[in-house]
Structure 1
Amino acid sequence: MNWRSYYFWFLLLTVVAYGLFEYYRPKPIDWTPTYSNKDKIPFGTKATYELLPDVFKNEKVTQLRVPIYNYLSENPTLPKSNYIFVCREFTIDRNDQKQLLNYAKRGNNVFISAYYFPDTLVKTLGIIATLKDPMLRDTALVMNFVNPALSKKGGYVFAQDDGRNYFLIKKPENVTILAKNARNEPIFLKIKYGKGAFYLHNLPLALTNYYALPSKTSDFAFKSLSYLPVLPVYWDEYLKQGRFGDDEQSIFRYIMTQPPLTWAYYLILFGLLLYAIFAGKRTQRVIPVLPVPKNTSLEFVQTIGKMYFQQGDHDNIAEKKIQHLLLYIRERFGLRTHEIDKEFIDDLIQKTGLPRMDIELLFSEIAHAKRTTSLSEFALLSLHHRIEDFYERVK
């Protein structure tokens, strides 16, 4: 086994060990305030939801995952009942509010535990849901019920709540204060409306698992809900979980509820997007590699020269070789060759770096070949060697 195999197995074992560590290590506590009846986390309401049959003497408890308007408008002849909302923000539109008010007016009860309420709703009910300045937050503020039969000695403290929420009462004739804080500010009200009533409670954290299970605060949720009459209960989950129940969820809705699957889904989409951008383009066909064109003019001159040499036409051969040499000098060194003078010789020496004597001897033989009307074979061979030597030395 070579060293590369050792590195491979080390890397594999490291990845496996990390995966097992992540899988088996204790998961951190999720402190998100979901107020959802399916969550066992501290600020879910699973414990409170399971408490409802005890509070309402085994009356039917129905979980609703539809908007208020839809359910109440489609069931206008509901028997007397309680409609319970536990959430951070009680956000409803005008149609929902109208149906909810009509529902209470017919003799039903609406229990809302939230930190924030719609202005139009609380104005209709004659109260104001307000907050103190952040500087006056008090996590050690004591809460207690007004009714002596329900109040607890020493009261209740909900340290996770900042103690800033309270109600201002504008129409006291229809309002009963059920609970206050140590500053004597109402935190739980019963408001008569028609034949029914609204129960407004601005401490939803007190109804979560974190406070509904410990013995010191567990009875606060029970006592708060016990103000409602013993009637069938409709528990709203639409404002927290949306429209569809677990048995109605599609695959994508389930994926969106599981953070690891959600991240995997987004990574797949991101990968497909990258593929569409980079790999999805039209693939260009492979461009063949073409060889660099070869300069065959010298070979052509040599071939023609051999033909003339065989015919004994030495003058013509010399003329062709001289013309090719001058063309080579023009293209290679950028010099004019129409007049071979001292300036041209100096420029060529500077460009080529060859000794002056060799350049002068070359052009001396060129001049001799041009003057001679019948060039001898020896003179042609001498000129040929001079020119070839020049080519070799300037490469």
Structure 2
Amino acid sequence: MRKPNKYLLILLVTVTAYVLFEYYRPKPIDWRATYENDDKVPFGTQALFELLPDVMRPSAIKTVLLPIYNLVSEKALPTPSNYVAICQDFGVDKNDIHQLLAYVGRGNNAFISAYELPDTLGKLLGFKAEVKDPKEADSTLRQNFVNPSLHKVSGYNFIHDDGRNFLIIKKPALITVLGRNARKEPVFIKVRYGKGQFFIHNLPLAFTNYYVLNQKTSDYAFKALSYLPAQPTYWDEYQKQGRFTEDEQSIFRYIRSQPALNWAYYLVAFGLIFYAIFASKRTQRIIPVVEPPKNTSLDFVQTIGRMYYQQGDHENIARKKIQYFLADIRERYGLNTTVLDKEFTETLARKSGVSQDETSDLVRLLRDTQKSISLSEYDLITLNGAMEHFKH
């Protein structure tokens, strides 16, 4: 049975351990300002969205996941009705603004609360969203309503807002200020347009869970929205969530939306890349050990030597040993071994480092053996000993 790949096992264990760790560890508070109506984080708007139907009864609150252009041009919206957008940046293009103006001009209402509002819309309606220098930030700045029936003596303090956002009125004749900060700067205005009205608000943080559920500021959001009549209301989530509802989310989109699963996804992806790089080569079968061929030359020489020795052919053995010995001298020292004379002896002694006397005795023994007709066993042993002694 094939063993499981150890690299895949290590990757699987690592991913599983990380997912379990991320799932069970205490979740830190997410302070991101999402403004999403299904988000329970402090700066989501789930609390307001769930409580709003009680305020707007008997009218229905519908979530919109379409651009304004598509919402107004493709759907038959009842008149009168309300459009509500609460977000960080009210990102709309010229086509959206054109349709939104037409929608309000027919007698509907648009309530927009955002820090960043398009200049195009501001120029058409007669206001400008201004942001002061960061040095003038003031988180203790209080907000309040102009209407005496909504005015709160102590005001409202939204401590997570830096107090730099306000509106500049360009066309006072068309605009009514509904709310100001402690510096008397407008933060909430009403603009008449055609048969309808725009409500522009510059502090969306006031509508989030943190402040709607806080006893000191819980009534602010409902007082602001009380300017909208009780009629069908469309709550814009396209600005924050895009076109997809929770039911329409793909598995991949859901994975990317969850921090733990998102990191696990990256671990798997990079793990597979590393596996492909370092462990994807085909595993070879074990190469069998092949015994190297044996060198039988020595065995052959020993066998031939024993045969000659047993036959008593000492002269033949001696001549062959002398022949191989002289061949070794030629190869090792580069000497001519044709004539074994005094000059040869001196040169051999000098190159080999053996004394002159020992070298002379060896050369003399070689010459005598070559000339000899018959050799005894003792002579053969003496010759072999002299050659081996010279070599070593």
TM range (shorter): 0.7 to 0.9
Q: Is the 8 A contact 2:23 2:260 kept in 1?
A: no
SS where residue 218 of structure 1 aligns? coil
Return the TM-score normalized by structure 1: 0.79
**CA gap 1:220/1:316 in 2 versus in 1, 3 angstroms:** farther
Q: Deviations over 1:282-310 (max 9, x none)?
A: 33454444556655443343344344545
SS where residue 80 of structure 2 aligns? coil
Alignment of 1:22-41 (within 5 A): 26-41=26-41
Q: Report the AA paired with residue 225 of structure 1.
A: L
Deviation at 1:269, TM superposition (A): 1.9
**CA gap 1:324/1:186 in 2 versus in 1, 3 angstroms:** farther
Partner of residue 367, structure 1: 366
Partner of residue 46, structure 1: 46
Partner of residue 264, structure 2: 264
Larger deviation, residues 173-182 vs 248-257 = 248-257
Partner of residue 60, structure 1: 60
Is 1:89 the equivalent of 2:89?
yes
Deviation at 1:76, TM superposition (A): 4.2
Q: 2: CA distance between counterparts of 1:105 and 1:311?
A: 133
**CA gap 1:79/1:337 in 2 versus in 1, 3 angstroms:** farther
Instruction: Say how many residue pairs are matched.
Output: 368
Partner of residue 145, structure 2: 145
SS where residue 162 of structure 1 aligns? coil
Partner of residue 210, structure 2: 210
Q: 1: CA distance between counterparts of 2:21 and 2:267?
A: 23
Kindly report the root-mean-square deviation, in angstroms, between the aligned alpha carbons of the 2 structures.
3.5
Deviation at 1:27, TM superposition (A): 3.5
Q: Deviations over 1:92-123 (max 9, x none)?
A: 33433333233222222221211112233323
**CA gap 1:304/1:35 in 2 versus in 1, 3 angstroms:** same
Q: Deviations over 1:346-369 (max 9, x none)?
A: 5555xxxxx869985995487347
Q: 2: CA distance between counterparts of 1:294 and 1:362?
A: 38
Q: Is the 8 A contact 1:134 1:164 kept in 2?
A: yes
Deviation at 1:49, TM superposition (A): 0.7
**CA gap 1:52/1:319 in 2 versus in 1, 3 angstroms:** farther
Q: 2: CA distance between counterparts of 1:295 and 1:203?
A: 96
Alignment of 1:210-289 (within 5 A): 210-289=210-289
Q: 1: CA distance between counterparts of 2:290 and 2:358?
A: 38
Partner of residue 7, structure 1: none
Q: 2: CA distance between counterparts of 1:343 and 1:102?
A: 120
Q: Report the AA paired with residue 367 of structure 1.
A: L
Partner of residue 162, structure 1: 162
Q: Is the 8 A contact 1:176 1:190 kept in 2?
A: yes
Q: Report the AA paired with residue 376 of structure 1.
A: L
Q: Report the AA paired with residue 187 of structure 2.
A: I
Deviation at 1:226, TM superposition (A): 1.0
SS where residue 240 of structure 1 aligns? helix
Deviation at 1:321, TM superposition (A): 4.1
**CA gap 1:329/1:26 in 2 versus in 1, 3 angstroms:** farther
% identical equivalent positions: 55
What 5-or-longer segments of structure 1 have no aligned partner?
1-18, 350-354
Partner of residue 16, structure 1: none
Q: Is the 8 A contact 1:314 1:374 kept in 2?
A: no
Q: Is the 8 A contact 2:345 2:363 kept in 1?
A: no
Larger deviation, residues 308-317 vs 133-142 = 308-317
Q: Deviations over 1:125-149 (max 9, x none)?
A: 3322121111110000011111122
**CA gap 1:299/1:163 in 2 versus in 1, 3 angstroms:** same
Q: Deviations over 1:172-208 (max 9, x none)?
A: 2322211111111111122223322222211111111
Is 1:132 the equivalent of 2:132?
yes
Partner of residue 298, structure 1: 298
Q: 1: CA distance between counterparts of 2:144 and 2:187?
A: 9
Q: Is the 8 A contact 1:369 1:375 kept in 2?
A: no
Q: Deviations over 1:308-355 (max 9, x none)?
A: 545655455445445655777899xx7545566556555555xxxxx8
Q: 2: CA distance between counterparts of 1:368 and 1:107?
A: 136
Q: Report the AA paired with residue 225 of structure 2.
A: L
SS where residue 63 of structure 1 aligns? strand
